Structure 1
Amino acid sequence: MSKDLLFEIGLEEVPARFIPAAIAQLKERMTQWLDGSRIAHGAVEGYATPRRLAVLVREVAEKQEDVQEEVKGPSRKIAQDEQGNWSKAALGFARSQGVNPEQFTFKELGGVEYIYATKSSIGVPTSEVLAEGLTGILHAMTFPKFMRWAAYDFKFVRPIRWLVAMYGTDVIEMEITDVKAGNMTRGHRFLGQAAEIVEPAAYVETLCGQHVIADIEERQRMILEQIDALAAEKQWRIAVKDDLLEEVLFLVETPTVLFGTFDPSFLNIPQEVLITSMREHQRYFPVLDEKGELLPYFVTVRNGGKDSLDVIAKGNEKVLRARLSDAKFFYEEDQKLEIKEAVSKLETIVFHEELGTVGDKVRRVRRLADTLAQKLSAPADTVESVSRAADICKFDLVTQMVYEFPELQGLMGEDYARKAGEKEEVAKAVFEHYQPRFSGDEVPSTLAGAIVSIADKLDTITGCFSIGIIPTGSQDPYALRRQAAGIVQIVLDRELSIGLSALFGIALDIHQNYGSMKRSAEEVRKDLHEFFGLRVKKLLSETLRYDVVDAVLSAGYDDVASAVARGTALMDAVQTGEAFKNTVESFNRVGNLAGKAVHASVNPDVFADAGERELYSAWQDVHQPYLDALGRRKAVEALTLAGQLTGAVTSFFDSVMVMAEDEGVRNNRLALLAVIHGDLKQFADFSKLVW
């Protein structure tokens, strides 16, 4: 027989951002406790609103499972003396297992006899352990922040106001902070009232009758359906951002969508400012037209029914008007600040206590960007734009708008720079130098933006590494992994002709001159190489097999675009199957003997067999075209050329004794294999491929 189990924790309003993790944790802890207590059960369902966390467990067995367990003890030789008396080791084992030594049995394992204790545990009724178990679960819950209330030592995310604990129709007797569990839940704070739950299965329906939609998925469906219906009715595009939707979802118990309006004159402010203000401050969804332009409307979700929606809308409009007025004020005031003055204020902002101010960082970024522009042979006008963009890339950090909304950094800089008369490429680069901001984000669309972005990110990474700040495990407070991945993405997507080692060299020279380095340049260079290697490996692993990734990276990844091209070509070739397997086997036979070469100088006059002459001729035919193809990142072409050696290699090993008795002949043959292997290993280490 089985019964359903319900456990609801009634709380004062919990911050929305805490709830998803909290309900997942409650479900996990409930499942672990039931399984650990040998109590069979069905599905564990989680429910959550701002005022409650609850789990409903289906078909919970009425009794723990009986268990009989056999535990291995010491060997018989240790457990008994020559007279058959039990040793201290055996008696200690018996006490630890709660059995009498006379209950021991003997079993042979690996030619040695051991004593075994058989423990039996009779399951107790589930109802007898539920109170202790649920109390333990509640005490074990963790949150980003805790609260204590009244004179209680107990702490939780918010004060507990009621508890529902039911096993079937029976109430589980338990108490926390003078709150006794019962079968009475509470409905919507304003629309509902206390209600009796007759059985766990009636939980959701009972709450629904009190204007509480406890089912998270159902509540989200209701919100989205209402938004879609409003959008269709008004012919709007309502921008629903997932993180905002999740937050709104856990702010309401009965969701009702409504809309309001704001003064169209606010549309003179950049729409990103208005959208950010609506989302971050008011939790509103912005309304766009078919072209993606902001309209003077907003959509919000009320925690309640449809009564007096016009009054609610007016209240929201009043609050939003104040917010947008603040934004308008900040925007207008910021434009009175000259860029030169804003840049000078960067000298008062500390970037890092060991790396100086933001002003120091900007000067390093300028030098790095200028050098990088020269290395890339950028056009003269782009070089000029790079210098100016690097000089002013951080100026908007001192504006009131960015102080209020840090996520608008770069975006406001672009707008203010454009209004101040800066070149379009410069203004664009001020925004783009932050890109990509996250995985999957766009890379800078302009060369100037790409160069300044690389310079900014590389300065941060190199600076941190130079003073010993290197990400370990999950710790990466300065987001260095994300910035390194951004550099790799920019270099790859824009097909920039510069290697990672060249980038490291530029940055290290600048930091050495700055004088902040606490570690040697070679140490930092080595760490940077490994750090970026992991980023390239992660990039390749998204689409390639692990062995293909390892093979390609073994040949080098300084040229990121080349590594990606070689990886893609090799993966395609591997998937062709047996034909390419034969080619790889021939390459590996070359590599196995190439390491024995004492020199890499091949003398055709020493050849004594047609097979080696044929292989040498085949290699000469493909050698330069192969290297040229690699240099142009034409990996498929290079691999095809290398594959043309397969027949000659096979014939060579079939007809030639490489380790000939004549030392000169032997070394010449090994040298031939070494030069061929030297070419092949520039593509990949084919020995790492797994078939």
Structure 2
Amino acid sequence: MSKDLLFEIGLEEIPARFIRAAMEQLQDRTSKWLEASRIAHSGVSAYATPRRLAVLVKDAAEKQEDISEEVKGPARKIALDAAGEWSKAALGFARSQGVTPEQFTFKELGGVEYIYATRNSVGVETASLLTEGLNGIVSAMTFPKNMRWGTHDFKFVRPIRWMVALFGTEVVDLEITGVKAGNVSRGHRFLGSVAVITEPSAYVESLRAQHVLVDVKEREQLILDQINKLAHEKDWTIAIKEDLLEEVLFLVETPTVLFGTFDPSFLHIPQDVLITSMREHQRYFPVLDSTGKLLPFFVTVRNGNDVSLDVIAKGNEKVLRARLSDAKFFYQEDQKLKIEDALAKLENIVYHEEMGSIGDKVRRIGQIADALSVKLGLAASTAAEVSRTAEICKFDLVTQMVYEFPELQGTMGEDYARKAGESDTVAKAIFEHYQPRFAGEAVPASEAGYVVSIADKIDTIVGCFSIGIIPTGSQDPYALRRQAAGIVQIVLEHKLSISLQEIFEIAAQVHEKSRNMKHSGTELRINLYEFFGLRVKRLLSDNVRYDVVDAVIAAGYDDVVAVVSRSRALNDAVQTQEDFKITVDSFNRVGNLAAKAQGGSVDPTLLSDDAEVKLFETWQSLHAPYYEALSARNADEALRILSGLKDAVTGFFDSVMVMAEDEKVRSNRLALLAGIDADTKVFADFSKLVW
């Protein structure tokens, strides 16, 4: 027999950003408790609104499953003493398993005889487990921030105001922080009233009757349907940002979409400013035309029904007008600030107590960017644009607009720079140097943009590493992983002819000359190389087999473009070339014997066997074109050339005794194999491939 189980925790309004994770956590903990308690069921569904977290367990068994399991005890020689009597170890094992020694059986395992006990456990009624189980689930939940209330020591995301706990039609005897569970929930704060839940299966509909949609997917779909309907009716494009939709979803229990308007004169302010103000301050969805241009309308979601929507719209319009007026004021005031005056203010803003002011950081960015321009061989005109971009790339940090909306850094810098008379290239590069801000965002398109972007990011990474701030586990307060991944992405997409260690060296030298460092020299550079190695490995793992990634990484990843090219070529060969395993086996056999070489070069006069002569000549003929292909980052061609050694290597091992008695001959043959092995390992460590 089975019954449905419902558990709802009613709370004061939970921050929207916490709700989905909390809902999923409650679902996961409930599922794990049911499994650990041996309570069969047919599924756990989770529900959430701003004021509640709930789970509904379908067809929960009314009784635990009975179990019968065999438990291994001590070995026979330990379980019995010299007189054949049960030892203390055997008697203790019997007590721990709730059996008598007469119930022991003997079984052999690995050539040793052990005693075994069969432990039977009769399942108890599920109802008797629920009080402790549900209490434990709630107590174990964790949140980014917790609260305590009243005189209670108990911590939770928000104060608990009611609970519903039903097993079938019976209320579970449960009390937390003075709140006793019952069968009464609460509806919408203004539209509904109490909702009596007669049985778990009636939960969703009972709350719907009180103007609460507890099903998250249903609520989200209703919001999207209303937005899409409005967009179709008005011929609008309503920009739906996923994180904003997620937030709105968990701010409402009964969603109703409505729209309002604002004064078109505000459209003279940059579009990004208006959109950011609407989204961040008011949680509004902006309205665009078919070309992506902002229209003087906004869309919002009301937590209620469609009564008096015109009044609600007017109230929202009034609030938005004040917000946009502030933005207009900030925008106009910022344009009075000269770039040189803004740069002077950066000297008074501490970037980090051990790395100086933001002004100090800007100077380091400039020095790194100039050195990168030289290393990359940029034209003089482009190098000048790089220098100017680096010099003013952070000036907008002291503007009122960026102070109000930090996410507009770069965006406002581009706009204000143009208005101040800077070239379009420099202005655009100010915006681009923050890219990519997140995974999947485009990298800077211009040379000035990507050079300054690399300089800014590597300055931050080297600076943090130099004072011991290195990401560990989930801790990465300065987003160093993201910034390292950004550098790797820029180098790859623009196919830059610069190695990671050259970038490290430029930045490390700038830091070492300008400030005292706790960690520098070889230690710093090794840590940086290993840190970037993990970023490169993650990049490769998106499209390449794990063993191929390991193989090419082992050969080095200093040249990002080259290692990506090698990984793709090797991955393709492993997956599409039927006889490639034979090639790999021949390389691995070479490597195994090459490990015994004592150094030295090959003496052609000591090569006597036809097979070893052929191998030497084949290797010599392929050596130069192989390295030319590698130098050109043409990994497909390099691997094709390298694979040309297969037949000669196979013939060599079929005909030649490598470990000859003559020491000179033996050393010469090992030197030949060592040379070939050195060439293969420039491409990959083929021994890491898994077949």
1:6-405 to structure 2, matched below 5 A, reads 6-83=6-83, 87-99=87-99, 104-405=104-405
In structure 1, the partner of 2:590 is 590
What do the CA deviations read for 1:100-134 (whole angstroms, capped 9, x no partner)?
55655555544545444444333222222222322
In structure 1, the partner of 2:563 is 563
DSSP 3-state at the match of 1:471: coil
Unaligned ranges ≥5, structure 1: none
DSSP 3-state at the match of 1:322: helix
Contact 1:7 1:166 in 2 (8 A): yes
What do the CA deviations read for 1:44-98 (whole angstroms, capped 9, x no partner)?
1111111111111111111222233443333454445445555544454444444
Letter of the 1:282 counterpart: Q
Contact 1:600 1:675 in 2 (8 A): no
Is residue 2:495 matched to residue 1:495? Answer: yes
What is the distance in 2 between the residues matched to 1:458 and 1:582?
43
DSSP 3-state at the match of 1:47: strand
Higher deviation after alignment, 346-355 or 310-319: 346-355
What is the distance in 2 between the residues matched to 1:48 and 1:687?
51
Q: 1:668 to 1:30 in 2, by over 3 A?
A: closer
What is the distance in 2 between the residues matched to 1:45 and 1:38?
18
DSSP 3-state at the match of 2:347: helix
Cα distance, 1:146 vs structure 2: 2.4
DSSP 3-state at the match of 1:578: coil
Cα distance, 1:195 vs structure 2: 2.4
Letter of the 2:460 counterpart: T
Letter of the 1:154 counterpart: F
Q: 1:90 to 1:601 in 2, by over 3 A?
A: closer
What is the distance in 2 between the residues matched to 1:194 and 1:650?
82
DSSP 3-state at the match of 1:192: coil
Higher deviation after alignment, 139-148 or 279-288: 139-148
Cα distance, 1:459 vs structure 2: 1.0
Higher deviation after alignment, 663-672 or 245-254: 663-672
What is the distance in 1 between the residues matched to 2:107 and 2:684?
54
In structure 1, the partner of 2:458 is 458
What do the CA deviations read for 1:301-351 (whole angstroms, capped 9, x no partner)?
111111111111001111111111111111111111111111111111111
Contact 1:491 1:561 in 2 (8 A): yes
What is the distance in 2 between the residues matched to 1:219 and 1:16?
14
Q: 1:604 to 1:140 in 2, by over 3 A?
A: closer
Letter of the 1:52 counterpart: R
What is the distance in 2 between the residues matched to 1:659 and 1:10?
79
Letter of the 1:530 counterpart: E
What is the distance in 1 between the residues matched to 2:315 and 2:541?
52
Letter of the 1:3 counterpart: K
Q: 1:637 to 1:101 in 2, by over 3 A?
A: closer
Letter of the 1:253 counterpart: E
Letter of the 1:37 counterpart: S
Letter of the 1:481 counterpart: R
Cα distance, 1:298 vs structure 2: 0.6
Letter of the 1:152 counterpart: H
Contact 2:491 2:561 in 1 (8 A): yes
Q: TM-score, normalised by structure 1?
A: 0.95
What is the distance in 2 between the residues matched to 1:578 and 1:392?
56
Contact 1:145 1:157 in 2 (8 A): yes
In structure 1, the partner of 2:479 is 479
Q: 1:140 to 1:613 in 2, by over 3 A?
A: closer
DSSP 3-state at the match of 1:246: helix
Letter of the 1:498 counterpart: I
What do the CA deviations read for 1:234-254 (whole angstroms, capped 9, x no partner)?
111111111111111111111
Q: TM-score, normalised by structure 2?
A: 0.95
Letter of the 1:388 counterpart: R
What is the distance in 1 between the residues matched to 2:37 and 2:615?
71
Q: 1:96 to 1:669 in 2, by over 3 A?
A: closer
What is the distance in 1 between the residues matched to 2:492 and 2:511?
25
Q: 1:39 to 1:594 in 2, by over 3 A?
A: closer
What is the distance in 2 between the residues matched to 1:90 and 1:226?
71
Q: 1:615 to 1:88 in 2, by over 3 A?
A: closer
Letter of the 1:202 counterpart: A
What is the distance in 2 between the residues matched to 1:48 and 1:545?
39
Higher deviation after alignment, 676-685 or 341-350: 676-685
What do the CA deviations read for 1:172-225 (whole angstroms, capped 9, x no partner)?
232333333222222111111112222111111111111111111111110001
Higher deviation after alignment, 375-384 or 639-648: 639-648
In structure 2, the partner of 1:539 is 539
What is the distance in 2 between the residues matched to 1:33 and 1:232?
47
Cα distance, 1:654 vs structure 2: 3.3
What is the distance in 1 between the residues matched to 2:593 and 2:82?
62
Cα distance, 1:586 vs structure 2: 2.9
Contact 2:204 2:213 in 1 (8 A): yes
Q: 1:600 to 1:629 in 2, by over 3 A?
A: farther
Q: 1:585 to 1:325 in 2, by over 3 A?
A: same
DSSP 3-state at the match of 2:683: coil
Higher deviation after alignment, 231-240 or 139-148: 139-148
Contact 1:8 1:165 in 2 (8 A): yes
- Aligned sequence identity (%): 70
Cα distance, 1:462 vs structure 2: 1.1
Letter of the 1:522 counterpart: T
What is the distance in 2 between the residues matched to 1:652 and 1:92?
66
Is residue 2:618 matched to residue 1:640? Answer: no
Higher deviation after alignment, 468-477 or 149-158: 149-158
Q: 1:83 to 1:140 in 2, by over 3 A?
A: same
Q: 1:130 to 1:609 in 2, by over 3 A?
A: closer
Q: 1:555 to 1:145 in 2, by over 3 A?
A: closer
Cα distance, 1:608 vs structure 2: 2.2
What is the distance in 2 between the residues matched to 1:311 and 1:548?
63
Letter of the 2:635 counterpart: A
DSSP 3-state at the match of 1:18: helix
Higher deviation after alignment, 219-228 or 77-86: 77-86
Coordinate RMSD, CA, aligned: 2.0
Q: 1:602 to 1:136 in 2, by over 3 A?
A: closer
Letter of the 2:134 counterpart: L
In structure 1, the partner of 2:510 is 510
What is the distance in 2 between the residues matched to 1:383 and 1:241?
37
In structure 1, the partner of 2:604 is 604
Cα distance, 1:611 vs structure 2: 2.9
What do the CA deviations read for 1:134-186 (whole angstroms, capped 9, x no partner)?
22322332222223333333332222222211111222232333333222222
Is residue 2:522 matched to residue 1:522? Answer: yes
Letter of the 2:459 counterpart: D
What is the distance in 1 between the residues matched to 2:413 and 2:241?
24
Higher deviation after alignment, 99-108 or 40-49: 99-108
What is the distance in 2 between the residues matched to 1:534 and 1:321?
48
What do the CA deviations read for 1:427-463 (whole angstroms, capped 9, x no partner)?
1111111111111111010111111111111111111
DSSP 3-state at the match of 1:443: coil
Q: 1:250 to 1:607 in 2, by over 3 A?
A: same
Q: 1:590 to 1:94 in 2, by over 3 A?
A: closer
1:646-665 to structure 2, matched below 5 A, reads 646-665=646-665
What is the distance in 1 between the residues matched to 2:223 and 2:447?
43
What is the distance in 1 between the residues matched to 2:115 and 2:596?
57
In structure 1, the partner of 2:625 is 625
